[in-house]
Amino acid sequence: MAKIMIIITSKWDYLKDQLDALCTQVLKAGINCEIKSYDEPEAMKFIIRYGINNGMVRIPQIYIIDNDKVRQVKYRVTNDLKLVIDDFNNPNQ
């Protein structure tokens, strides 16, 4: 299976533009990228299986799937509302 990034978001997500740009950047690096709405059945399966932490769900959710292994990408949002990926410096890793 090819490496793919799955981004789960919503139309009300204030990071949506930055997520679109991230997906474009990943596609340019030769990695498939899909943006899904959190209310899609496939997205909900990801959230239920991998995205619940301490009983809460955070939107957006970013996942890397590589060789059938799923890894949730950790990120933070700065005070000026910028998305910072903490553990995903190189999409080819």
- Give the pLDDT confidence score for residue 86 in this predicted structure: 79
Q: Which tokens hold the place of 8?
A: 């789960």
Note the pLDDT of residue 1.
56
Q: pLDDT tens, 55-76?
A: 999 999 999 999 889 999 999 9
Angle, vertex CA 16, rays to CA 12 and CA 22, nearest 5: 165
Domains of the chain: 4-85 (3.40.30.10)
pTM higher than 0.75: yes
Stretch 69-92: mean pLDDT: 82
d(CA 42, CA 30) in angstroms, rounded, equals 23
Pick the more confident residue, 91 or 75: 75
- Cβ atoms 50, 72 nearer than 8 A: yes
Reported as a single tens digit per residue, the pLDDT across 29-40 is 999 999 999 999
